Chain A
Amino acid sequence: MSGGSSSRLSRKHPSGRKAVLATLMLLVAVASAFPLVWMVLSSLKTPAESMQVPPVWIPHTPSLDAYEKVSGVVNVGRSMWNSLVIASITTAGILVTSMMAGYAFAKYRFPAKSLLFSLLIATMFLPPIVTLIPLYRLVGSIGLNASLAGIIVPNLANAFGIFLMRQFIAGVPDDLIDAARMDGASELLILFKIVAPSVAPAIAALALFAFVYHWNSYLWPLTVLQGNADAYPIVISLSRLLSYNRGAVNTGLVMAGATLAVLPPLILFVLLQRFFVDSIVGSAIKG
């Protein structure tokens, strides 16, 4: 059996097995990182370098000209601002609604609690396309389509946030909460002054998830905006660049645009990846 022989090999040559493993890991990392590295390198090339045959992998004289040219095709400043507004307000809303509902599910007893919880959690597994058509009409009928509010309002609460908050708030000791109640604190004050600080890492994780998810989200903004380019988030504005993707001459321009879209979520991730990973692990194990 192949497994047996490789194991025998490993006992004879432990360093050989390690070398194979290290090589494999390096290969996986390179394959995974390659598209993004290639994207950044290409964004720094001049058009002449982009067209060279055989290809130039690393630009000889890195230039930021392509980034300037993106602004000529796409209103980068406006779109980035729209994305920031959409992602920030949506995230703030999700944090507040999730903490409140998560606290209720973790610390209160009330009728039909588990039924309500199951109903909310079920929406987590519902693909957005299932509700898209009536939602589009519904949001239109309350006068919110073609606006940033139309993108934001339907997303101010979600089941994942409630689930995550309930999991972590359940771990906050009841004594802590009861002591504050004895002092006459209101429930909202207890939630935001006592409970929130003790689940701060989970709140950070949820904030990052929500921000990145809504920075990147595409289907709903595209649908609700009905072509109102003034309200386009960056991920929709940049789709104009796809028409520049024929031939090699504009490769730098296209990759500069892609890099601009990647930077904000990727920077957030690099700074705070510990929270991302912990909360995924937490939701998978406890779920």
Chain B
Amino acid sequence: MIQRYRASAGIMLTPAVTLIGIFILLPMLLTVWLSFQDWSTQTPFSSARFIGFDNFREIFGASSVGRDFKGALTNTAIYTAFSIILILPLSVAFGLMVYQHDVAGGTALRTVLFSTYMVPMIAVALVWSKLYSPSEGPLNQMLGLIGIGPQPFLSSPRSALVSIVLLNAWQQVGYFTVLAIAGLTQIPGSLYEAAKLDGANRFEQFRFITLPLMRRTLLFSAVIAIINAVQVFEPVALITQGGPVGSTNVLTYHIRRVGIERAQGGLGSAMAVTLMLSLIVVVCALFALANRKDQE
């Protein structure tokens, strides 16, 4: 019997494992291998020539290649930080609004918030580049109504990256709200009853029950938010093309430009490996921090 199921397991696993092996795991290994090679994306893999750490020296060097890459790395770090600072607190606040029984309409609010997550980025880009338009854009018109002068949004290097964070947060916050609601449903109602008997007010209940018991959910949300943030591509490719003056040149956009459009496959792969390692370090640090808090 066992033997028979071992054969069945092989059959069941072959399609998925073959596809993921060829189209995800193999390319991942190739990326690591290519990062040590001099290789043009327009030539076969066999034409790659081993050059040790030269690609890494160049992308962290003082040349324009190094400047652009370090700029993209910094932009992505800023972008990720802003996204998390904006999305996580909002997702908890919105989650609490949906998951309360005092006022009707929670489910409707969840539907509205989550529906933006279904919108393709091309539509987000088309709509928001119009909303942000300095002269006739509705956002500046509304700001004008409350006496705030026109903002440059996407056209100034100081505000372009944050403007992209805002449109992405608008699109994604509904997803994280649903995650937050999932976390809230895990908290036993009896804890709140006990806290009320002890005279805890709503703020204290939130501070000492909701927040600590949401830690696992928030950790999960933070990891997903980081992985989403380093993937930001479409709004940059569609609206700003990395500008003005490189202020929205983020890693996914930059790596594709170097590795595909300029066909510098070795350099692009070194950048991709750096991104992967940074991501691993950040996520591990996050888990370590969460574990230490758990032990306290």
Contacts and interface: CB of A to CB of B under 8 A. Distances in A.
A273 B15 CA distance: 29
Given A32-B170, A133-B259, A137-B265, A119 B25 contact: yes
B82 interface: no
Interface in B226-274: 227, 230-231, 233-234, 237-239, 251-252, 255-256, 259-260, 265, 268-269, 272-273
A187 B220 CA distance: 35
Nearest to A276: B114
- State the majority secondary structure of interface residues on B: helix
A29 interface: yes
A39 B123 contact: yes
Nearest to A256: B126
B interface residue count range (under 10 / 10 to 19 / 20 to 34 / 35 or more): 35 or more
B146 interface: no
B123 A6 contact: no
B84 to A, nearest CB: 16
B117 to A, nearest CB: 8
A interface residue count range (under 10 / 10 to 19 / 20 to 34 / 35 or more): 35 or more
A145 B181 CA distance: 42
Contact of A129 (B11, B124, B127, B272): B272
Interface in B164-178: 170, 173-175, 178
Given A55-B141, A138-B27, A280-B178, A133 B268 contact: yes
A238 B238 CA distance: 10
B17 interface: yes
A97 B272 CA distance: 28
Given A3-B201, A254-B130, A281 B185 contact: yes
B13 interface: yes
A206 to B, nearest CB: 13
Nearest to B19: A157
Contacts, number: 300
Contacts of B5: 108-110, 187
A100 B17 CA distance: 11
Contacts of B24: 123, 126, 131
A262 B183 contact: no
B202 A6 contact: yes
Given A22-B103, A277-B178, A187 B27 contact: no
Given A134-B30, A270-B115, A100 B12 contact: yes
Contact of A255 (B111, B119, B130, B272): B130
Contacts of A82: none
B16 A28 contact: no
A158 interface: yes
A179 to B, nearest CB: 15
Of B120, B186, B239, B256, most buried by chain A (CB within 10 Å of CB) is B120
Contact of A136 (B133, B175, B260): B260
Contact of B265 (A39, A125, A133, A287): A133
B127 A38 contact: yes
Contacts of A104: 8-9, 12-13
B269 A134 contact: yes
Contacts of B136: 53, 55, 247-248
Interface in A40-64: 42, 53-55
Of A135, A153, A155, most buried by chain B (CB within 10 Å of CB) is A135
Interface in A91-107: 96-98, 100-101, 103-104
A2 interface: yes
Contact of B115 (A215, A222, A269, A281): A269
4 closest cross-chain pairs (CB), A and B: A3-B203, A7-B201, A134-B30, A131-B27
17 contacts: A6-B203, A100-B11, A120-B20, A127-B231, A127-B275, A133-B268, A134-B27, A134-B45, A137-B45, A157-B15, A187-B8, A238-B126, A277-B178, A280-B179, A280-B182, A284-B183, A284-B220
Interface of B: 2, 5-6, 8-13, 15-17, 19-20, 22-28, 30-31, 34, 41, 44-45, 94, 97, 100, 102-103, 105-106, 108-116, 118-131, 133, 136, 138, 141, 170, 173-175, 178-179, 181-183, 185-186, 201-204, 206-207, 217, 220, 223, 227, 230-231, 233-234, 237-239, 251-252, 255-256, 259-260, 265, 268-269, 272-273, 275-276, 279, 283
Interface of A: 1-4, 6-8, 10, 17-18, 21-22, 24-25, 28-29, 32-33, 35-36, 38-39, 42, 53-55, 96-98, 100-101, 103-104, 108-110, 116, 119-120, 123, 125-138, 141, 153-159, 162, 187-188, 191, 212, 215-216, 218-219, 222-223, 234-236, 238-239, 241-242, 245, 247-248, 251, 254-255, 257-259, 261-262, 265-266, 268-270, 273, 276-277, 280-281, 284-285, 287
Given A21-B103, A25-B97, A129-B255, 18 more contacts: A2-B203, A8-B201, A18-B102, A25-B106, A39-B123, A100-B13, A100-B16, A104-B13, A123-B25, A132-B255, A136-B260, A188-B11, A216-B121, A218-B237, A239-B125, A266-B115, A280-B175, A285-B182
